[in-house]
């Protein structure tokens, strides 16, 4: 009977932890997908930023051509020189009014909700010399816009815009995400190794002896019946352990006294009867177990097999 009960308990134990670990793995996988989605969203934002800048600069080129009374020639494709630097060029020569250039770019970027901290340069196509440049900041007081009102006569120009905070901000956000992801993985590993059930630790779950409907934990001085814990004194536990080791056998009083008291240097007579009485009360809820008195000899733990 004891072997069958133990086998059932082991199976239940394994089923419980398989279900628990499966749920744990699903939660962990969900969190992993969340971090991956956040990182992928960050990458998509970079791509959207680049495309938005290109569309906005083509609009800038269109308005510059209109300011030159030119509605037919083309604005060449906007080139991304780096992650945060873009250039627009023209098919023909144009004249540029600095005031108009500043206003056109500012209005276009505001509508597109692009960053307002950037450097604009107008360079000559043939030698790449800077014909005009200015700096825009989030704080308008820090804007540097020189030479207003000085027209740039017709030449082959390239207009380059470099956003100052996009690259650093994007990299720092990506670094933070990767650091958080690594921390998450470390915590996941630590939690997987250290997690234990709250009520009984994994090591203690199987460290018991089946006694009828009870589970006897000699190292923890307790009995458990249907999740109800029954505490045992040290002496009660020592006496019960002797009976459990020899079920359905008569154990002499002298043997019990010797093992429980005399080995500790103390011999007690009536104390044995007191502890036997206490154990009977704690075991009385299970009719298949009886702690009987064998008159003039000792005691016997009777365990009825069902």
For the stretch 178-188, pLDDT in tens is 777 777 777 77
- Asked whether 152 and 98 are in contact (CB, 8 A), the reply is yes
Query: Distance of alpha carbon 161 from its chain centroid, rounded?
Result: 40
Domain C-terminal end among 175, 205, 235: 205
> Which CATH number characterizes residue 285's domain?
1.10.10.10
Residues 108 and 226 in one domain: no
Number of domains forming the structure of the chain: 2
Residues 166 and 287 in one domain: no
Residues 129 and 224 in one domain: no
The residues of the chain scoring below 70 in pLDDT are 1-47, 166-174, 177, 192-206, 263-269, 306
What three-state secondary structure class fits 86? Answer: strand
| Phi and psi, residue 132, nearest 5° | -160, 145
pTM of the prediction? 0.44
CA torsion through residues 239, 242, 248, 249, sign: negative
Residues 90 and 104 in one domain: yes
Pairing between strand 250-252 and 79-80? Answer: unpaired
The domain of 249 spans: 207-303
Residues 190 and 175 in one domain: yes
Of the chain, the end-to-end C-alpha distance in Å amounts to 8
pLDDT in the model for residue 277: 92
- Asked whether 75 and 88 are in contact (CB, 8 A), the reply is yes
Domain C-terminal end among 205, 238, 262: 205
Residues 170 and 34 in one domain: yes
Residues 255 and 179 in one domain: no
- Asked whether 162 and 146 are in contact (CB, 8 A), the reply is no
Residues 226 and 135 in one domain: no
pLDDT in the model for residue 1: 42
H or E stretch covering 216: strand 214-217
What three-state secondary structure class fits 73? Answer: coil
Nearest to 161, CA basis, from 114, 206, 203, 207: 114
Residues 174 and 42 in one domain: yes
- Asked whether 153 and 123 are in contact (CB, 8 A), the reply is no
Whose tokens are 């060029």? That residue is 89
Length of the chain: 306
Residues 82 and 196 in one domain: yes
Domain C-terminal end among 165, 181, 205: 205
Residues 199 and 299 in one domain: no
pLDDT in the model for residue 43: 52
* 124, two tokens: 């000559």
Residues 84 and 8 in one domain: yes
């Amino acid at each position: 009977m004891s072997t069958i009960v133990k086998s059932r308990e082991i199976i239940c134990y394994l089923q419980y932890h398989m279900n628990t670990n499966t749920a744990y793995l699903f939660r962990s996988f969900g969190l992993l997908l969340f971090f991956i989605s956040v990182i992928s969203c960050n990458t998509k934002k970079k791509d959207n930023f680049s495309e938005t800048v290109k569309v906005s600069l083509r609009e800038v080129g269109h308005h510059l051509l209109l300011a030159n009374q030119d509605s037919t020639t083309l604005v060449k494709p906007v080139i991304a020189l780096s992650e945060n630097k873009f250039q627009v060029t023209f098919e023909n020569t144009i004249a540029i009014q600095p005031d108009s250039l500043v206003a056109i770019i500012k209005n276009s970027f505001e509508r597109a909700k692009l960053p307002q901290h950037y450097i604009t340069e107008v360079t000559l196509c043939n030698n790449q010399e800077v014909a005009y440049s200015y700096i825009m900041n989030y704080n308008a007081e820090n804007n540097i816009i020189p030479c207003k009102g000085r027209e740039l006569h017709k030449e082959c120009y390239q207009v380059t815009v470099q956003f100052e905070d996009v690259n650093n901000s994007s990299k720092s956000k990506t670094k933070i995400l990767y650091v958080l992801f690594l921390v998450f993985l470390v915590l996941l590993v630590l939690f997987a190794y250290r997690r234990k059930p709250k009520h009984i630790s994994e090591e203690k779950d199987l460290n018991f002896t089946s006694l009828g409907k009870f589970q006897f934990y000699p190292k923890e001085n307790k009995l458990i019946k249907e999740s109800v814990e029954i505490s045992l004194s040290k002496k009660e536990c020592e006496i019960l352990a002797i009976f459990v080791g020899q079920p359905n056998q008569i154990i002499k009083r002298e043997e019990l006294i010797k093992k429980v008291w005399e080995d500790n240097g103390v011999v007690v007579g009536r104390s044995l009867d007191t502890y036997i009485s206490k154990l009977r009360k704690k075991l009385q809820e299970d009719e298949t177990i009886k702690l009987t008195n064998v008159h003039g000899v000792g005691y016997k733990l009777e365990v009825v097999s069902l």
